[in-house]
Amino acid sequence: DVCVLGSFMKDLVASAERRPLPGETLHGTGFAEFLGGKGVNQAIAAARMGARTAIVGTIGEDRYGEEFLELLKTDGVDTDWVVRHPELGTGVGLPLVLPDGSNSIIIVSRANSAITATDVEDAAEVLTSSAVLSVQLELPVEASRAALRLASAAGVTTILTPAPVGPVDPSLGAYVDILVPNEVEAAALTGLDCDDESQLPKIARKLADEWDLRGCVITLGGRGVFVLDRSGTSNSNGGEEIRIPGHTVATVDTVGAGDAFCGSLAASLASGAALADAVRLANAAGALSTTVNGAAASAPDRAAAQALLDA
């Protein structure tokens, strides 16, 4: 089973020809709503990969919260551990998209920011009985730490996506087995450049040493993935380096690729796959997610990911 601790974000997307000036009211050219947040996206991706999946997080007692519960239930995600905050509403994101595809985003975390270590401890049963726990950095760090600590002590494999990019609390390191940064996050954490292929082993080793990791998985967008797998070796030296190229697909929207990748990785590891094999399936799932618009809605099912791998 997979457990995801993470955020719920309702995105209300406006399109416009340009950004409004201070004090200006500007007519937009389009509007769309999406249900997302890294936690939700990863949980749905894991469930579609065939894992029994539960999500832990906080939403409001509002309409957006209801929408999330419905969406998650449609994909078979266990929502029994979701806490509904009595005052704060469900988290929202307000992106403004310009004609060239660039965007400016306001995020209001609302209920997401209210989750406490105690809320997480109340979900100890599901956190400690899963095979894999996946955590990102959109929630207060005390909550993330509490979940990783509980799971790690119970022998659950823990995955951390260090996103959104920013400083990471070093106290999380002791409880993480597998770190999954993208290029930007890996560069921010090490000060080294992921564009330079020859640096990738060094970057992964640096992170693996600092975090005492079992595995470091650096996602490289369309270029695929670099993996340092230290399971089966002593964590001081060695480990297997695996470079997996990206799949060539008809990409239309890369938003949420990392979440589709991580959710699939968690599901595959939970089913007992070795890290390299789990990453291969996740690499296919991440690629397929870019062929569909949206984030949560774009994760593929296991059969589609397997078919791309076998093609």
Rank residues 58 and 161 by Cβ distance to ligand ADP and give the closer one: 161
Map the footprint of ligand ADP across residues 176-195, applying CB under 6 A.
182
The contact pattern for ligand ADP, residues 37-66, with x = CB under 6 A and - = no contact, is ------------------------------
Positive or negative: CA dihedral 217, 285, 253, 255: negative
Could you say whether residue 275 binds ligand ADP (CB under 6 A)? no
CB 138 within 8 Å of CB 5:
no
Q: Which stretch binds ligand ADP (CB under 6 A): 78-86, 231-239, 248-256, 296-304?
A: 248-256
Q: Find the helix packing angle between 183-190 and 200-211, rounded to 10°.
A: 60
The residue range among 14-22, 93-101, 244-252, 293-301 that interacts with ligand ADP, by the rule CB under 6 A, is 244-252
Query: Nearest-CB residue to ligand ADP?
Result: 258
What are the φ/ψ torsions at residue 310 (nearest 5 degrees)? -80, -15
Query: Which of these is catalytic: 259, 277, 301, 310?
Result: 259
Considering the complex, what minimum distance in angstroms separates the CB of residue 137 from ligand ADP? Answer: 12
In whole angstroms, the minimum distance from the beta carbon of 242 to ligand ADP comes to 13
Residue 246 interacting with ligand ADP (CB under 6 A): yes
In this complex, which beta carbon is closest to ligand ADP, that of residue 88 or of residue 163? 163
Query: Shortest Cβ distance from residue 154 to ligand ADP (Å)?
Result: 28
Bridge partners, 84 (sequence order):
59
Residue (145 or 247) nearer to ligand ADP, CB: 247
Q: Does 254 bind ligand ADP (CB under 6 A)?
A: yes
CA proximity to 263, closest of 37, 43, 111: 43
40 among the known binding-site residues? yes
289 labelled ligand-binding: yes
122 part of the active site: no
283 annotated as ligand-binding: yes
Q: How far is the CB of 236 from ligand ADP (least distance, A)?
A: 28
Question: Of residues 89, 95, 221, 294, which one binds ligand ADP by CB under 6 A?
Answer: 221
CB of 226 to ligand ADP, least distance (A): 9
SS (H, E, C) the chain: CEEEECCCEEEEEEECCCCCCCCCCCCCCEEEEEEECHHHHHHHHHHHCCCCEEEEEEEECCHHHHHHHHHHHHCCCECCCEEEECCCCCCEEEEEECCCCCEEEEEECHHHHHCCHHHHHHCHHHHHHCCEEEECCCCCHHHHHHHHHHHHHCCCEEEECCCCCCCCCHHHHHHCCEECCEHHHHHHHHCCCCCCHHHHHHHHHHHHHHHCCCEEEEECHHHCEEEEECCCCCCCCCCEEEEECCCCCCCCCCCCHHHHHHHHHHHHHHCCCCHHHHHHHHHHHHHHHCCCCCCHHHCCCHHHHHHHHHC
Kindly tell me which residue out of 2, 97, 287, 299 binds ligand ADP, with binding defined by CB under 6 A. 287
Known binding positions for ATP: 182, 219-224, 258-259, 283
Known binding positions: 9-11, 37-41, 138, 182, 219-224, 253, 255, 258-259, 283, 289, 292, 294, 298
Residues forming contacts to ligand ADP in the complex (CB under 6 A) are 182, 219-222, 224-225, 246-247, 249, 251, 254, 257-258, 261, 283, 286-287, 290
| Catalytic site positions | 259
Known binding positions for K(+): 253, 255, 289, 292, 294, 298
